[in-house]
Structure 1
C-alpha cells in the first residue's frame, strides 16, 4: 500500500508537470502562430494617398470573418481609424498607441470584444507613405477559450493514461512484493509446522537472502532442545539428590524423638518444609522445561476421568459422589503430564475435604472443581496462594493447590479460589484461548 501510494504521488506530480509543460508549449506555439499572422498582415497593409489604411489580403481563416469568432486582428495608425477583422464586429482592441520605429513582437493579454481573455501579439511596423514612414501597430489575438478547449482535450487523454499507468505499476509492484515475500510465507508455514510438532527443524531450501535467518532459527531450536534436556536431567538429579538427605533427616528426627522430643520435632518440621519447597521447585521446573517452541495441547476429559477413577479407589473415597461433566472439546494448552499434576493436586484436595460431593465441570475456557467441605476463609486462600499449608491435620493440604497455581501460571493460565455454592471450596483454572492465525 505504501508503494502504491508513492507511485500515485509520483504520477500525480508527473501529471502536474506535464500540464505545466503543455501550457507553456501551447502558449509559445500560440504566440508563434499569432506572430506569423501579424507578419503576414504587416506585409499586406498599405497607406493610401489620403492616409487611410487598407489590407490587400486577409489571412484565410473563417474565424476572422465570423463575429466574435475567437480570432481577431487590428491595425492602428495615429490619426486614422483602425483597420480590424470582421470578427471584431463593432468593437476594437485596446492596444498601445503606435510609436516611431519597428520593434519585436510583444505578447500581451487583452480583453476580447465579448469580455473574454485574449492572447495577443502586438508588432510595431513602419508603413511607407510617399517619402515618409508612418508608425503603426499590427495586433493579432486569439480567444483563450479555444486554448482551454485544447487543454481540456489534453487532460481528457492524460488522466486516463496516468490511471492506466498507475494500475500497471501498482500491479507490478504487488506482484514484485508478493514474489519477494514468498520465502517468508513459506518460512511462516514451516515455523507453524515446528510449533505443531510436525517438524523438528526448518528445511534448507530458502533463497540466499533468507537462508542465514533460517540457519540461526535452526540453531536456536537446537539450542533450546538441548537446554530443555539438560533442565530435565538437572531437575531429576536434584530430586534424587535432595530426597535422600531429607529422608535421612526425618529418620534421625524419629530416632532421637524419645531422648530429645523438642529437637526431633524441630528437625522433622524443617525437613518437611524443605521437602515441600523441593517438591514445588521441581514441579515448576518440570513445567518450565516443557515450554519449548512446539505448541502443545491435550484434551481435559480423559485426564479427569483417569484421575477420578484412581481417586475413587482410595480408602475412604467410596462415600464421595463425583459429578463430572467435562466436554470432550475442552483442551489444555500444555502437555498431559503438566495437566495431570495440576488436576491431581486439586482433585485430591477436594476428595480429602468433601463430605459427600465433588463437582468437576467447565466454565468458558477453564476447569471448575467444587466440593461440599468446610471451605476456606479469605485469609486462608491468600495464604495458600503464597504456598503455605492451610491445615496441618491432613497431609499435603494447601501446598498442592499452590503447586497447581504455579503450573497454571507457567502455562499462561490462572488459578482462583472462592466459596462454592455447595458450601466448600471452588477452584477455577482458566487459560487464554489461542488466537487463530492468519492464513
Structure 2
C-alpha cells in the first residue's frame, strides 16, 4: 500500500479514532468500576455495621459489649484489613482485634445515614469506612452510639488490578477486531474507485469505449464528466484526422506540379530539374512525417487495441511478394495474445516501415518475435543486414535520413518511431545477434 493511498490514510485515521475511543472507554469503565466497587463495598460494610448495632449492648457497669463478633477472620487478625469500632460520647470505645491498640474514628457526615468516607488506617493506609449512628435503651433512657466498619483500600486496589488485567487485553482484542472491520469497510467503500480505475485502464487498452453508468450516486457526476471528456477528445481526434487528410490532399497537387516542372525542365536545365525534384521529394517526406505525427499525438485517452500477430502475418505476406522478399527467410514468433495499444492503421504503418527497411537491407534472414513479459508487451524486429551506427540512430531521432543510397530509407523508421511514441510505446534500436539492426517496440500492458 503506497504512502499517499487514500485507503491507507482512511485506515490510519479510523485506527486512531478507534484507539482514542477505546482508551476513553477504558478510562470510563475504570471510573465506573471504581464507583461500583466503592458502592458495593460500602453496602457490605453497612450490613456489617447493622449486624454489630443489632448485637451491641451495655453491661451493668455501663461498658459496651458485643456477644458475638462478625465471622470474618480479618476482624480478628491485627491489621487484617477489616476493622470495626463502636463508641459513645464520653465513654470507652469497643474495637475489633484487628485495630490492635489503635482508634478508628468516625466518618464526619451526620447528614448522611449511613455516612460513607475515607479514614486513616491503623497501619497508615487508607480505609473506606461506613459510620452508622444508632441509639440503644439503657436504664430507662437511650444511649447514642456510632458504629464504624472499615476496609483497607489496598484490598480494593487488588480487585481493581484484576479488573484491569481483564479489561486491557479485552480492549486490545476489540481494537484489533474493530480495525479489521473498519479496514474491510474502507475497502468496500472505495471499491467504486477501483472499478473506475479498471474501467479507465480498459479505455486506455482499447477494450472499452466509455465508462459505465452503474457507479454509486456519489461517483456518478465524476463518471459523467469523464465520459464527456472522452467524447470531446474523440471529436477532436476526428477533426485532427480530417484536417490532416485535407492537408495531405491539398499538398498533393502542388507537389505533383513541382515534379512535372522538374521533368519538363530536365532536358534544358538538368541541374535545376534535379534541384526541384529533390526539394519536392523532401517536402513530400516532411509532409508525410508531419501527418503521421499529427495522427499519433491526437489519440487522447480512448484507444483501440489491435492484435499484433495477424498484422505481422499480413504485412510479411505482402512483403514476400516484393523484390528480394521471396529470397529471404522470415522467422515469425509472435504470441497470439499480444495486443498493441493503438489502432490497426498505426500498427500497420509501424510494422510496414520497419519490415520494409529490413527487407531492403537483410542478406538472408528477418526475425519477428513478440510477447508479454514483466507487465510489458514487446515486439522485436531483427535482420542480418549491415545494421546502423550510433550516428545514424541519432539521425532518426532528429528526423533525418540516415542513408541516401536506397530510395525512401530513413524517414519510414522515423515515422514509425513517431507513431509508436504517439500511442505510449517506446522504440529502441540496437545491434541484433543476427548481425543487423534490432528494433524493439515495447509498451505497458494494463493488468499484466
Q: Which bracket does the TM-score occupy, shorter chain normalised?
A: 0.7 to 0.9
- Counterparts of 1:204-353 in structure 2, within 5 Å, are 208-294=217-303, 296-353=304-361
CA distance in 1, matches of 2:83, 2:194: 69
Alignment RMSD:
4.7
Tell me the distance in 1 between the aligned counterparts of 2:391 and 2:205: 42
Report SS of the residue matched to 2:290: helix
Task: Name the CA distance, whole Å, in 2 between partners of 1:171 and 1:256.
Answer: 86
What do residues 258-301 of structure 1 show as CA deviations (whole Å, max 9, x unaligned)? Answer: 5555544444333333222211121122233445425x333322
CA 1:202–1:434 in structure 2 vs 1: closer, same or farther (change >3 Å)?
Answer: closer
SS at 2:323 equivalent:
coil
Deviation at 1:43, TM superposition (A): 8.5
Residues 323, 360 of structure 1: 8 Å contact kept: yes
Displacement of 1:23: 0.6
Distance 1:161 1:358 in 2: 71
- Kindly indicate whether the alpha-carbon contact (under 8 Å) linking 1:64 and 1:72 is maintained by their aligned counterparts in 2: no
- Tell me how far apart the structure 1 counterparts of residues 200 and 266 of structure 2 sit (CA, whole Å): 60
TM-score (norm 1): 0.75
Task: Tell me: CA distance 1:97–1:149, structure 2 relative to 1, closer, same or farther (3 Å).
Answer: closer
Distance 2:200 2:441 in 1: 29
- SS of corresponding position for 1:325: strand
Check the 8 A contact 1:78/1:136 in 2, yes or no. yes
Which consecutive residues of structure 2, in runs of 5 or more, have no partner in the other structure? Answer: 1-10
Q: 1:381 to 1:10 in 2, by over 3 A?
A: same
- Residue 417 (structure 2) pairs with residue 405 (structure 1): yes
- Name the stretch that deviates more: 398-407 or 74-83: 74-83
For structure 1, which segment, 119-128 or 25-34, has the greater mean C-alpha deviation from structure 2 after superposition? 119-128
Equivalent pair of 2:83/2:150 in contact (CA under 8 Å)? yes
CA distance in structure 1 between the partners assigned to 2:67 and 2:265 by the alignment? 143
* Unmatched segments (≥5 aa) in structure 1: none
Bigger relative contact order, structure 1 or 2 (CA pairs below 8 A, ≥6 apart): 2
| Structure 1 residues 418 and 212, CA gap change in structure 2 (3 angstroms) | closer
Judge which range, 207-216 or 329-338, deviates more.
207-216
Tell whether 2:396 aligns with 1:384.
yes
Where 1:390 maps in the other structure, the secondary structure is: coil
1:24 is aligned to 35
CA contact (8 A) 1:110 1:120 kept: no
* Cα distance change, pair 227–349 in 1 and its aligned pair in 2 (3 A): same
The answer to whether the Cα contact below 8 Å between 2:46 and 2:130 also exists between their aligned partners in 1 is: yes
Tell me if 1:429 matches 2:441. Answer: yes
The alpha carbon displacement at 1:27 in A equals: 2.2
Task: State whether residues 381 and 440 of structure 2, in contact with CA within 8 Å, keep that contact through their aligned partners in structure 1.
Answer: yes
More displaced stretch, 7-16 vs 177-186: 177-186
Structure 1 window deviating more from structure 2 (195-204 vs 160-169): it is: 160-169
Match of 2:378 among 357, 366, 376: 366
Distance in 2, matches of 1:374 and 1:125, equals 121
Cα-to-partner distance string for 1:47-66 (whole Å, 9 max, x where unaligned):
76867x4234667x432686
Specify the alignment match of 1:396 in structure 2: 408
Aligned residue for 1:343, secondary structure, equals helix
**In 2, distance between residues paired with 1:207 and 1:432?**
30
The question of whether the paired residues in 1 share the 8 Å contact of 2:104 and 2:120 is answered with: no
Distance 1:167 1:191, change over 3 A: same
Answer with 117-126 or 391-400: which moved more.
117-126
Q: Normalized against structure 2, the TM-score is what?
A: 0.74
Alpha-carbon distance between aligned partners in 1 of 2:444 and 2:118, rounded to the nearest angstrom: 78
Q: Give the number of equivalent residue pairs.
A: 425
Is 1:93–1:111's contact at 8 Å kept on the other side of the alignment?
no
2:132 and 2:148 in contact (8 A); partners too: yes
Checking the alignment, whether the CA contact within 8 Å between 1:75 and 1:82 is kept in structure 2 is yes
1:91-142 deviation line (CA, Å, top 9, x unaligned): 52744789xxx998573355578x9864335789999999xxx999854222
Which stretch has the larger CA shift, 326-335 or 387-396?
326-335
Which region of structure 1 is more displaced relative to structure 2, 30-39 or 409-418? 30-39
Q: 1:3: how far off?
A: 4.2
